Chains A and B, each alone.
Chain A
């Protein structure tokens, strides 16, 4: 670049992006790099010793408990994702295809109402609803439908899936809604015109075109639920820990930050690999330009 003008322009550009860049560095890169470097250090009792080691990873990857908890996290997340997206799709569809255009923004507003209360309170409320003497059990006994309170609705995987699915529903509804809104309605008429009924038109036209939204919804739900920590603690009663609970135990309770970091990095890698495989499987839908 011989031109001095270009230099000035480049400098101006750099000045412009510098604040967000520093911000991203401080908020994203520094914590991740800290955890990453911790994971290669040695744990001394109550302190971290600056000696490089693969020991933490060897310990994490060879521990059957970690493997079991990681698998449980994956399967709970997968179940939550499936339930959430399956429940979110009809809502998004209704919102996009049935609700009158002038009412849509009100509906979107209503869908975000759960965010008005803290996540912790919402999780706790589910405990109240599902508990031994909770809303469901007391009303069912009161109505004489059951004699004994149902026990399978709290402190197990089902209740965790239910709670998480409720918490993440808006995150799934919104991307699917956006994808459905983008579909040119004449495509659906074309599907019908070419001899397909409503159901087949949905299967052959609407669903493939909504897939980018579904993929986004899956990732938005799957990635954070794997790391969820509050719900297993409260709804799972601490008896069915997920990977985040293991990390918490190592980091805080046992003060073994290197091992906790190795667990965190491992979980991150697993999520990244699963997400990439999922994206790759859906690549043909994601290439479509509407």
Chain B
């Protein structure tokens, strides 16, 4: 799973450093001590619900917002007195901010005004940048005649033509329809590999962050709740907020029976006794009444009648609801002997029938995919 992604060496040079950033808007505490290092060439995402401070953080890096205390360094240089127009960053705005009074080519060439190169050289650069984003030959078009996806490409070309050290992307895909969004996700990844510069993406879409990023910082209430690679973030969320925000997770009440030698033993109604190492133990929400056990829908397998599994554990269930999605089927299962319902997902493969509501069945699971929140 991990092998599919480019691995950036831990030793890559830091490109953006945020040290203890505090930001107040009047009484409102927007950023609460952000400490962050984004490495050179990394595709980094700031993920969180709206109002969590992710856009504010991006705008402090770009220089559109000042900070109350702390420091931003880009490529080792202090940015305190560097205005937005002098920072080695460029931004793709959420609304794309394409200049409506200019043509596509004039938009892309906007930042080249003080470039000493000649007119024809600049025109060639513009054409090259447009080709890079798949808009070869669009230079003469009026900006207002473009579709949403084309505007986004112009915004990308306009930023990348300046060869910034960091490209900042503020929810760049949120205005596109689903098909277009998925296509642009892949294109953005390819583009980032091609140009090799650091990308910092702000998004509220966890799927988008998982698909595109080398590392993700999940933010809540002006703080970074967890900073990890997508796989770790998904499989080992550090607290229940992160688990809730990223993907779907089932939660069951648990009782801790024993703690010794870095192993926590819990008893879970329906699943029975489970032993978990410390690495599978995370923080619960402050308002949780007790320890909670969580697992992802795809980590449990519904067995066909008579099938037995290689997994360590099996549990009896009753099928409460079946939701058929074409490629996937979601089952809501009531754990035998309890009132707890969990949702699991099964990939539909040829030769395996979708099981029907009301039947008794067995699921197989492994303690290694569980997370305890306490």
Partner among A195, A205, A284 whose Cβ is within 8 Å of the Cβ of B111: A195
Given A209-B100, A209-B101, A289-B100, the answer on whether A195 and B114 have CB atoms closer than 8 Å is yes
Interface of A is mostly: helix
Partner among A186, A187, A194, A288 whose Cβ is within 8 Å of the Cβ of B162: A194
- Among A187, A200, A204, A285, find the residue whose CB has the most chain B CB atoms closer than 10 A: A187
Contact with A along B234-275 (1 / 0, CB 8 A): 000000000000000000000000000000000000000000
Given A187-B99, A208-B101, the answer on whether A288 and B144 have CB atoms closer than 8 Å is yes
Q: Which residues of A contact B162 (CB under 8 A)?
A: 194-195
Are B100 and A197 within 8 A (Cβ)? no
Given A194-B90, A194-B158, the answer on whether A285 and B97 have CB atoms closer than 8 Å is no
Partner among A184, A193, A290 whose Cβ is within 8 Å of the Cβ of B85: A193
Q: Which residues of B contact A190 (CB under 8 A)?
A: 91, 93, 97, 99
Are A193 and B101 within 8 A (Cβ)? no
Partner among B84, B95, B144 whose Cβ is within 8 Å of the Cβ of A193: B84
Are A288 and B97 within 8 A (Cβ)? no
Q: Which residues of B contact A209 (CB under 8 A)?
A: 100-101
Cβ-based interface call for B113 (8 A): yes
Task: Give the interface size bracket for B toward A.
Answer: 20 to 34
Are A194 and B101 within 8 A (Cβ)? no
Q: How far is the CB of A191 from chain B (nearest CB, A)?
A: 8
Once bound together, how far apart are the Cα atoms of A222 and B162, in whole Å?
44
Cβ-based interface call for A192 (8 A): yes
Write the chain A residue with the least CB distance to B89. Answer: A193
Are B64 and A189 within 8 A (Cβ)? yes
Are B84 and A189 within 8 A (Cβ)? yes
Q: Which residues of B contact A285 (CB under 8 A)?
A: 101
Are A184 and B97 within 8 A (Cβ)? yes
Q: How far is the CB of A290 from chain B (nearest CB, A)?
A: 5
Cβ-based interface call for A255 (8 A): no
Contact with B along A169-191 (1 / 0, CB 8 A): 00000000000000010110111
Cβ-based interface call for B138 (8 A): no
Partner among A192, A194, A288 whose Cβ is within 8 Å of the Cβ of B100: A288
Cβ-based interface call for B76 (8 A): no
Residues of A within 8 A of B (CB): 184, 186-187, 189-197, 200-201, 204-205, 208-209, 284-285, 288-290
Interface CB pairs A-B, < 8 A, 18: A186-B94, A186-B95, A187-B99, A189-B64, A193-B62, A193-B84, A193-B91, A194-B158, A195-B111, A196-B85, A196-B111, A200-B113, A208-B101, A209-B101, A288-B100, A288-B101, A289-B100, A289-B144
Residues of B within 8 A of A (CB): 62, 64, 83-86, 89-91, 93-95, 97, 99-101, 110-111, 113-114, 144, 158-159, 162
